[in-house]
Amino acid sequence: MVTGRNRGRSGDKAVAYLAVAFVVAGGILFVSVAILLFSPDPPRVFGIMAAVTLGCLFLVWLVSDHRDGRSLKERYGALIGLGPKKEKVKVKVKRVKRSEMEAPNRPPSVEDIRGLSEGANTWVPSSDKRQSDADC
Instruction: Please write the tens of the pLDDT for every residue from 102-133.
Output: 666 778 788 877 877 776 555 666 666 555 55
In a domain, 86, yes or no: no
What is this structure's pTM?
Answer: 0.41
Confidence band for 26, pLDDT divided at 50, 70 and 90: very high
Spatial CB neighbours of 77, under 8 Å, sequence gap ≥ 6: 83, 84
In a domain, 30, yes or no: yes
In a domain, 2, yes or no: no
Domain encompassing residue 22 = 7-79
For the chain, the domain total comes to 1
Spatial CB neighbours of 73, under 8 Å, sequence gap ≥ 6: 82, 83
Helix (H) or strand (E) holding 76: helix 72-76
Q: What's the rounded Cα separation, in Å, for the pair 113 and 134?
A: 46
Q: What's the rounded Cα separation, in Å, for the pair 105 and 127?
A: 42
What torsion do the CA atoms of 43, 41, 55, 30 make, to the nearest 10 degrees?
A: -90
In a domain, 131, yes or no: no
Residue bearing the bigger pLDDT, 60 or 40: 40
In a domain, 64, yes or no: yes
Query: In the predicted model, is pLDDT for residue 32 greater than 80?
Result: yes
